Structures are given as C-alpha cells and as structure tokens.
C-alpha cells in the first residue's frame, strides 16, 4: 500500500512510514494512492460474513500486501474482538452500537488496530516509539488501553483540564506502566496544537521517535471502515438494500472512514454529518466558505472541534468539488438543548438511552428521514460512546437507568496519576525533554 500527501500527490511513502510518521513533512494528510473497489459479489453477500471476516477481506484489499495475510489475520482477531450490533429502535431507525470495546467508545476500533499494526512493524531493538495524543476525552482512553503494556512504546496523552468526564479521566489517568497523562490548562484545540507543534520541532524529532495516534493516522482510519461494511451486512439480514448513515462528527475521522468504505464500493444512499454547535462543516457545505473557528464547549465534548483535522481528507476524496460532496453528504448542526430533548424523547418513546454524541446523530437521521420518507431505506445512526461516560448530562431518572459496564467498575478503586501543564509549547517541550 502506497500513500500520498494531500498537499502533494507526488510525495509517496509506503504504509509503514505513514503509520509511524502520521503526518507528511508538508503537513498534508496521508491518503492511499489507490482505493480498491471490492468485488460486487462480496458486497451482495456481506450478510454471510462475520465482522472479523469482513474486517480481514476489507483490510487485505486496501493494505495490498503491506502486511502478510497470516499476520493481518492475527492482528484483526486480536483487535476486533467485540461486537458492533445494529439494533432497530423504531420503524426504519436503527442504532449501530460502536461502544462495546474496552474504552466504551468507537475509537477502540482505530486504537486497537493501530497499536497492533505499530507493534507488528516495530522490530526488536528499534528505538522506543513515543506516541503523542491529544484527546477531547475518548481518544485518550482508547489509545491508552490499546497500547497498555505494548513493549517499546511510550504513550503521552494530553487532555483539556476540567473538560473530560469523570469516567474518561479515570480511563486516562489510572493506567500507569507505559502510559502517562498530562492535563492542559486549555481547550482540546490547544492540546492538538501542542502535539502538532511537537511533531514539527527539530530538537524533539531528533531526540524521540515521535508518532501520533490521533484520527489523522491512516492506520486508525482503515479499521473504521470495517463496521460500515458490517452494518450493511446486518441491514441486508433485516431485508433492506439501501442505507443512510448518520455520523456524529468532530474531527471527521469516523465519517471519513465511511466515505472510504463507500469509495470501496459500499452502496450508501447518503451520509449525514451530524455536528453540535461547532458547525464549521455544515456552514462550509452551505456557503462554500471553509472558516475554521475556535471550538465551543458543548455536552457532546468529543465533537467540540472548530477545525476538523480530517476534513482535508474528505475534500481530497472528492477532488475538492463541493457540489459532488453535497450529493453524498448532508450536514446538520444541533444545540445542547436539542440534544437533551432528543435524549428524553428517545428514552420516553423507545426506552433507549443515547449518549449526547449519539443523540445528535439521531436528530440528523430524524431530520433526513422526515424529508425523505421511504420504507426501503434503513436509517442507521452511529452510537459512538456508552451513555455512562457522560453521567452529568442526563436527568436523574434517566441516569439511574444507565447500566454501568464491567469496564468502568474495574477502574473505580485505582489511583490517578497525571501531570499539569499550561497551554504554551515551551512548557510542554520542557516536560518531554525533562
Ligand atoms: C471522537 C468522538 C466523536 C467524533 O468522531 P470524529 O471521528 O472525530 O468525527 C464522536 N463521538 C464520540 C463519543 C467520540 O469519542
């Protein structure tokens, strides 16, 4: 598998280099030179396959021998070892639950696959790999748990102080071993900027073998295509042929993976990009002007992104053509008030409890289905996290009904360890060198 930079199609590197460098030197993002289209027969027969079987077929096609078959199969079987069920909650409206992994968020797919791919490529005796991650909450937990105990790798997680939920904070700060957490006095965008700056700092690059585990890493994007194919397999079993996916979006990695699956031949009628009031993309689709904004804090904090880092990948897939893009993606933006009303409504009418990110995807799907009523289309909204990660959002009577999964119970007695830093680069650099 060969990758190019979105800033320069002639800058080409093998998959392994893209995995370890995350970002090309010209600050573009890596994209595959060729996106294979899967055999239509395989797509028509998806319902016959399990999630790990689908994951193997899809990754084999896109990785194109970058990892030998038997090793790839072992990576998949270890990384993709939990379910991603599609459940009907009302007529035509289905939820794709992506929160059954160890950190209770969809980011487990990307993080678990990436950590195993990195450890596969990391030959014995090579310099220690330093993974730097900025997180608005969920990435850090998934990456920490994905890399915990992996030899020859150290993980440093930056999270915005006071802006992650108590369970998220536990997931970030109770690991020990090869994982360290830093709380930054600032926003998620500050954390992301610090990580980006570290990658461009000559002294740090010389001293450490730095890599990123954010959604910009190509090895996180690939495994996220698996559950789109697997969701399609499930809607086939339910008797549908057409699907609309509604994706709660922040950095646009999740929906980017969906679009990659679509490019690989998955028949998707429409993608809905559902955002909170951080509406840079909905505004761009409407006006044609992409204006990065400072992020604003909302209840769906994993989507508080004012300048989505994966957006250039999506533009790249459409050759920069906004009109083409608008045929495939419809964007919606919702306030915290609307999010809470959606949570209450679905709880009351369907007995289902959604996390705030998931609720925004539900709202977008409802919006689209109302405008395009049809019995033949399966509406699927992606549930990106378990509701127990955001306990403060829910009215007490709903919160009381949320079951606490075993993954959380195990964290509660553990000691928390983290460092505190400001949002200036010099302090962060001194910490890394220190
Ligand atoms: C990360 C995250 C998102 C946003 O996903 P992107 O790939 O950044 O668009 C949505 N919901 C939850 C719960 C998340 O953790």
pLDDT over 70 for what percent of the chain?
99
**Average pLDDT for residues 29-43, to the nearest whole number?**
97
Per-residue confidence band for 151, with pLDDT thresholds at 50, 70 and 90 = confident
Distance in Å, CA 170 to ligand 1 centroid? 19
Q: Ligand 1, closest atom to CA 358?
A: 11
Q: Compute the distance between CA of residue 288 and CA of residue 281 in angstroms, rounded to an integer.
A: 10
**Average pLDDT for residues 51-57, to the nearest whole number?**
98
pLDDT over threshold 80, residue 123:
no
Distance in Å, CA 124 to ligand 1 centroid? 34
Q: Give the other-Cβ count within 10 Å of 207's Cβ.
A: 12
User: Could you report the per-residue pLDDT of 251-308, keeping only the tens digit for each?
Assistant: 999 999 999 999 999 999 999 999 999 999 999 999 999 999 998 989 998 899 999 9
User: Could you report the per-residue pLDDT of 320-378, keeping only the tens digit for each?
Assistant: 999 999 999 999 999 999 999 999 999 999 999 999 999 999 999 999 999 999 999 99
Is 60 a known active-site residue? no
User: For ligand 1, atom 2, which residue shows the shortest CA distance?
Assistant: 302
Distance in Å, CA 245 to ligand 1 centroid? 15
This prediction's pTM:
0.92
User: Could you report the per-residue pLDDT of 198-254, keeping only the tens digit for each?
Assistant: 988 999 999 999 887 766 899 999 999 999 999 999 999 999 989 999 999 999 999
pLDDT over 90 for what percent of the chain?
83
Distance in Å, CA 136 to ligand 1 centroid? 9
Q: Provide the pLDDT for residue 124.
A: 67
Which of 275, 357, 387, when mutated, tests ligand 1's pocket best, judged by the most ligand atoms within 8 Å of its CB?
357
Ligand 1 neighbours (beta carbon < 6 A): 105, 107, 138, 215, 248-254, 302-303, 357, 384-385
For the chain, which domains are there? 73-102+220-404 (3.40.50.1100)
Question: Which candidate in 107, 163, 196, 389 is catalytic?
Answer: 107
Distance in Å, CA 41 to ligand 1 centroid? 32
Q: Ligand 1, closest atom to CA 253?
A: 7
User: Could you report the per-residue pLDDT of 64-101, keeping only the tens digit for each?
Assistant: 989 999 999 999 999 999 999 999 999 999 999 999 99
pLDDT over threshold 90, residue 140:
no
Give how far Cα 380 sits from Cα of 107, 200, 301, 364, Å: 18, 40, 22, 11
DSSP assignments along 33-70, one per residue: S--PPPPHHHHHTGGGS-HHHHHHHHHHHHHTTSS-HH
User: For ligand 1, atom 14, which residue shows the shortest CA distance?
Assistant: 302
**Dihedral sign computed on CA atoms, order 350, 351, 357, 358:** negative
Q: Which of 12-16, 38-42, 166-170, 211-215 has the lowest average pLDDT?
A: 211-215
Per-residue confidence band for 314, with pLDDT thresholds at 50, 70 and 90 = very high
Q: In what order do the strands lie in the sheet with 179-184?
A: 209-212, 129-134, 153-160, 179-184, 419-421
178 SS3 class: coil
Q: Ligand 1, closest atom to CA 305?
A: 8
Q: Which of 50-59, 132-141, 253-262 has the lowest average pLDDT?
A: 132-141
């Amino acid at each position: 598998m060969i990758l190019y930079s979105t800033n320069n199609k002639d800058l080409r590197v093998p998959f392994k280099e893209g995995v370890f460098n995350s970002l090309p030197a010209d600050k573009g993002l890596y994209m595959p030179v060729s996106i294979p289209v899967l055999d239509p027969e395989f797509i028509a027969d998806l319902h016959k396959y399990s999630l790990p079987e689908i994951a193997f077929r899809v990754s084999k096609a896109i990785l194109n021998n970058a990892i030998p078959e038997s090793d790839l199969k072992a990576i998949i079987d270890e990384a993709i070892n939990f379910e991603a069920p599609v459940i009907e909650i009302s007529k035509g409206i289905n939820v794709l639950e992506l929160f059954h992994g160890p950190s209770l968020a969809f980011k487990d797919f990307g993080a678990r696959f990436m950590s195993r791919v990195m450890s596969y490529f990391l030959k014995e005796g090579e310099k220690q790999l330093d993974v730097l991650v900025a997180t608005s909450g969920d990435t850090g937990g998934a990456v920490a748990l994905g890399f915990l105990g992996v030899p020859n790798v150290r993980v440093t997680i930056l999270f915005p102080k006071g802006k992650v939920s108590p369970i998220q904070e536990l997931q970030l700060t109770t690991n020990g071993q090869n994982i360290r957490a830093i709380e930054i006095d600032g926003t998620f965008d500050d954390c992301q900027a610090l990580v980006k700056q570290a990658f461009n700092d000559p002294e740090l690059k010389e001293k450490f073998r730095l890599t990123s585990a954010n959604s910009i890493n190509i090895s996180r994007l690939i495994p996220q295509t698996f559950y789109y194919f697997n969701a399609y397999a499930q809607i086939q079993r339910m008797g549908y042929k057409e699907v609309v996916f509604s994706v709660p979006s922040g950095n646009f990695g999740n929906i980017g993976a969906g679009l990659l699956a679509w490019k690989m031949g998955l028949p998707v009628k429409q993608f809905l990009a559902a955002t909170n009031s951080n509406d840079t993309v909905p505004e761009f689709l409407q006006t044609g002007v992409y204006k990065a904004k400072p992020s604003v804090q909302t209840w769906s904090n994993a989507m508080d992104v004012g300048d989505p880092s994966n957006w250039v990948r999506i533009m790249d897939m459409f050759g920069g053509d906004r009109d083409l893009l608008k045929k495939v993606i419809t964007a919606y933006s919702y306030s915290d008030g609307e999010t809470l009303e959606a949570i209450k409504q679905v709880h009351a009418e369907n007995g289902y409890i959604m996390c705030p990110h998931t609720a925004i995807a539900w709202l977008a799907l409802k919006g689209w289905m109302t405008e395009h009523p049809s019995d033949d289309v399966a509406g699927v909204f992606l549930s990106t996290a378990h509701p127990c990660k955001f306990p403060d959002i829910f009215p007490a009577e709903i919160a009381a009904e949320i079951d606490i999964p075993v993954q959380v119970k195990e964290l509660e007695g553990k000691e928390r360890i983290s460092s505190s830093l400001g949002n200036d680069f010099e302090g962060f650099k001194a910490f890394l060198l220190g």
